[in-house]
Amino acid sequence: MSTQTTTPTLVHTREELAAALAVQDVQAVPRSEGRAAHTARPHRRAVVMTMGALHAGHLSLVAKARELADAVVVTIFVNPLQFGAGEDLSRYPRDLHGDLALLSGPGLLGPDDIVFAPDQSVIYPDGEPIVRVAAGAIGDALEGAHRPGHLDGVLTVVLKLMHLTRPDVALFGRKDAQQLAAVRRMVRDLDVPVVVHGAPLVRDEDGLALSSRNAYLSADDRRRALGLSQALTLAAREHAADAIRSTALDTLQAAGIDEVDYVALVEPATFTEVDASYRGEALLLLAAHVGSTRLIDNAPVEVSA
Ligand code: PAF
C-alpha cells in the first residue's frame, strides 16, 4: 500500500475557489457518458464543512467523501454567526498548517481536491447578513434553547457554502445530531439539490467523543468528561424512556459533572421528546459543562417498555 502524501489545492477567495472548481468540473466524467461505467463513485463532488482544528472524526468524513465522490472540497471556516455572546469564538482552536498536513495524509485529499479556507470578509462581505436561514422548531429545542440562534447561524453558513462549493453530496458527522437533522430539514424544505450524508460519530479509545473542543480539557476535566459516554452506555441498558433519562443524569452526576444543560430522549427525525407511550429507536442526547468546556454527545437507544 502506498504511503505517499499529496497536497490539496488551497484557496482563500471566491475567485480562487471558482477557478479550482472549474478545474474539477473539466476533469469530471460527464453523466451522459455513463458515469457508472467510469467510476464506482456515485457522486461527482463531495463537500465536508469544518471549522478546522481537525481530528480523526473529520478525517473519517473526508475518507468517506473520497469514497462517495470523484472530487472533494473541505471548507475550513470558524463561523461567527453560530457563536453566542460569551462563547468561545475568540479562543476556538485554529491551525491551518496542521489541518492541511492531516488532510494531505494517505487516502485523503490529492492535488485535484480543494481546501477552501476563507476569511470572514469573504463569507460575509457586507458584514452580518440581514437575511438568514431560520431553523424553526428544530432550532428552538435543546442546542437552540441553550445557544439561541446557534442553528440559524449554522444553517446560514451551510447554505452559503453549498452555493459556493456546488456539491452533489455534503457530509456531516452524527456527533452534532441536531445540526445534522436541521441540515437535512433545510435541504428538504428549501429544495437544495444536495444529498446529505450522515457519518458515524468517532470516539477515542476511552469512549470520549472526538471534538475540537476536547483540546480545552485539563487532565482532570478529561477524566470527568468520560461520564458522558458512560451515561449513554448505562442508559442504553434500560428499556423505559424515564429510566433511560434518569440513568443518564445519575451517571453524569456520579462522574462529577454538575452543570448539565440537558438529557433528552427524542424522536430522531423531529427532535421532539418521546413520551412514556413511545416504542422504537430514539436518540439520547447529552450536553454538559466540564470545567470551562461545553461538551455534547449522543447515541441511538431502543425504547421498549
Ligand atoms: O459542525 C461544524 O463544524 C460547523 O457547525 C459547520 C457545519 C462547519 C458550520 O460552520
Determine whether the shortest distance from the Cβ of 51 to ligand 1 is under 6 A: yes
Pocket test of ligand 1: the residue of 51, 115, 165 to mutate, having most ligand atoms within 8 Å of its CB, is 51
Pocket test of ligand 1: the residue of 73, 76, 82, 124 to mutate, having most ligand atoms within 8 Å of its CB, is 82
For 185-248, give the secondary structure using H, E and C.
HHHHHCCCCCEEEEECCCECCCCCECCHHHHHCCHHHHHHHHHHHHHHHHHCCCCCHHHHHHHH
Output the CA 50–ligand 1 centroid distance in Å: 5
Determine whether the shortest distance from the Cβ of 158 to ligand 1 is under 6 A: yes
Determine whether the shortest distance from the Cβ of 157 to ligand 1 is under 6 A: yes
CA proximity to 285, closest of 276, 296, 277: 296
Structural element, H or E, at residue 17: helix 14-27
In the chain, the N- to C-terminal Cα span, in Å, equals 50
- Mean predicted confidence (pLDDT) in 237-250: 98
Lowest mean pLDDT among 35-39, 241-245, 282-286: 35-39
Model confidence pLDDT, tens digit, residues 95-148: 999 999 999 999 999 999 999 999 999 999 999 999 999 999 999 999 999 999
Q: Which CATH architecture has domain 212-299?
A: 2-Layer Sandwich (3.30)
Model confidence pLDDT, tens digit, residues 163-199: 999 999 999 999 999 999 999 999 999 999 999 999 9
- For ligand 1, atom 1, which residue shows the shortest CA distance? 50
Q: How confident is the model at residue 35 (pLDDT cuts 50, 70, 90)?
A: low
4: pLDDT strictly greater than 80: no
- For ligand 1, atom 5, which residue shows the shortest CA distance? 154
pTM: 0.93
How large a percentage of the chain has pLDDT more than 90? Answer: 90
Q: How confident is the model at residue 6 (pLDDT cuts 50, 70, 90)?
A: confident
Output the CA 49–ligand 1 centroid distance in Å: 6
31: pLDDT strictly greater than 70: no
- Which atom of ligand 1 lies at the shortest distance from residue 176's CA? 1
Determine whether the shortest distance from the Cβ of 50 to ligand 1 is under 6 A: yes
Q: Are 92 and 51 in contact (CB under 8 A)?
A: yes
Q: Are 69 and 44 in contact (CB under 8 A)?
A: yes
Tell me the average pLDDT of the chain: 94
What's the CA gap between 273 and 277, in Å, rounded?
Answer: 11
For the chain, domain boundaries: 9-199, 212-299
14: pLDDT strictly greater than 90: yes
Lowest mean pLDDT among 20-29, 151-160, 262-271: 20-29
- For ligand 1, atom 7, which residue shows the shortest CA distance? 49
How large a percentage of the chain has pLDDT more than 70? Answer: 95
Q: Hey, which CATH number is domain 9-199, 3.20.20.140, 3.40.640.10, 3.40.50.620, 3.40.50.2000?
A: 3.40.50.620
- Residues involved in catalysis: 58
Q: Are 135 and 182 in contact (CB under 8 A)?
A: yes
Determine whether the shortest distance from the Cβ of 79 to ligand 1 is under 6 A: yes
Determine whether the shortest distance from the Cβ of 49 to ligand 1 is under 6 A: yes
Output the CA 248–ligand 1 centroid distance in Å: 27
Q: What is the model's pLDDT at position 2?
A: 46
- Which atom of ligand 1 lies at the shortest distance from residue 49's CA? 8
Q: What is the model's pLDDT at position 269?
A: 83
Query: Edge-to-edge, what's the strand order for the sheet holding 169-173?
Result: 9-11, 114-116, 69-76, 43-50, 169-173, 195-199
Q: How confident is the model at residue 1 (pLDDT cuts 50, 70, 90)?
A: very low
